[in-house]
Amino acid sequence: MRLRSRDHEDPELNVISLVDVILLLLIFFMLSTKFVDDSRIELQLPQASKEPVAGQKRDPIEVGVTASGEYRVNGQTLINTSPATLSAAVAKVAGEARDVPVTIRADARSTHQSVVTAMDVLGRLGFRAISIATVNDSSGTPAAN
CATH number at residue 110: 3.30.420.270
- Determine contact, residues 68/27, Cβ cutoff 8 Å: no
pLDDT in tens, 12-47: 778 888 899 999 999 988 888 766 655 566 656 667
Q: Is the pLDDT confidence value at 107 over 60?
A: yes
C-alpha–C-alpha distance, residues 122 and 136, integer Å: 25
* Residue 71 maps to a domain: yes
Instruction: Please state, in angstroms and as integers, the Cα–Cα distance from residue 27 to each residue in 17, 35, 36, 88, following that order.
Output: 15, 14, 18, 63
Task: Count the domains in the chain.
Answer: 1
User: Is this prediction's pTM over 0.75?
Assistant: no
For residue 98, name the pLDDT band (cuts at 50, 70, 90): confident
C-alpha–C-alpha distance, residues 79 and 85, integer Å: 8
Give me the domain span that covers residue 134.
61-144
Coil, strand or helix: which one is 110?
Answer: coil
* Residue 48 maps to a domain: no
